[in-house]
Structure 1
Amino acid sequence: MTETAETQQNYEEMFAHRFSSEDQEYQEYLSRPADPPPIVEDWRSRGGGNQRGKDNSFVTWCVIMLQAAIRR
């Protein structure tokens, strides 16, 4: 056997029962409680420089169009 084939065979034997019911470390991992989700505070607090007033300009445009339609 070549060294690569021997190495591959070694890994096959070492990890034959990985992530199975015979893998004690994995079973311990499965039985632990789930981690709580991360809390990210104020993630939208910073406004981008180019985004300021973007929504307001659209609202202003809508108001102008509605006023023009009413005047007709």
Structure 2
Amino acid sequence: MGTGILRKLSYEEQISAIAKALKEEIELLKSLPKAEAQQMAHRGLVKVGIIDEDGNYTEPYKELGKAVNRSKQD
């Protein structure tokens, strides 16, 4: 979904559209073999700027990365 379309929607509609797209993406990833799903997820996170090519969190997301790592330890 392009950002131009999202600008025309209310905030609530934007959240709903994003949630729907994420749900569809998750279902697709679940249907793929594990290695393929991991590669696809990695490419997606790089594309949106959350991680770099090496899998490190980018500057704006470093705190998120710390929280994710803490949750993995629990």
Instruction: State which structure, 1 or 2, has the greater radius of gyration over its C-alpha atoms.
Output: 1
> Larger RCO: Structure 1 or Structure 2 (Cα < 8 Å, ≥ 6 residues apart)?
2
- Which has more helix, going by share of residues? 2
